[in-house]
Amino acid sequence: MKREGSPLKGVGTIAIKEAADHMTSARMHLIMLLVLLTAAGSVWAAIGQIRVTTAEDPFLFLKLLTTARDPLPSFASFLGFLLPLVAIALGFDGINGEFGKRTMSRILAQPIYRDAVLFGKFFGGMLVLAIALLTLWLLMVGLGILMLGLPPSGADVGRGLAYLAVTLVYTGVWLALALA
């Protein structure tokens, strides 16, 4: 039997449905609240540590992400630990949630390839993670501007966006492993 049509047909529909399911779930709200609170605590501690050296340091906003105070690790360390957990939770829920709701057989009974279902679930999870990370990054930069009183330079924004892109790739690897 020959396959007909594009193997990517339906990926967008599944991705949007998956993103909407994740964005409205109580589990996702709780996980992102925990990530937000730990990240805010980490940045707050870093601001307290570097507030005295604002005029001397050319890489001030980079220090927001990497400076640690004694009981709390840095923002980058928190993300390195928590983001794989969030990605694994999203990926695990992507497939097992369909089995739990008994809707996997309905999805696969539609004229859509199984590859498209997996790609759609991956892209939906990545969309949710990208929105969450961008929001978190903007909140942390805003908190840094508010508390330090200095705007970031163009180089700081570029470094921050590069860090955001690398973090998204890192989280995507964990999401793909969770879906596999």
Compute the distance between CA of residue 153 and CA of residue 144 in angstroms, rounded to an integer: 13
pLDDT of residue 59 exceeding 90: no
> What band does 126 get if pLDDT is binned at 50, 70 and 90?
very high
DSSP H helical ranges for the chain: 11-24, 26-50, 60-66, 75-100, 104-109, 114-148, 154-179
Helix (H, G, I), strand (E, B) or coil at 151: coil
Q: Return the structure tokens found at 85.
A: 């957990």
Predicted local distance difference test score (pLDDT) of residue 123: 94
Compute the distance between CA of residue 179 and CA of residue 87 in angstroms, rounded to an integer: 10
If you average pLDDT over residues 88-99, what whole number do you get? Answer: 82
pLDDT of residue 53 exceeding 80: no
> What band does 124 get if pLDDT is binned at 50, 70 and 90?
very high
Predicted local distance difference test score (pLDDT) of residue 130: 94
Q: Is the dihedral of CA 135, 141, 145, 150 positive or negative?
A: negative
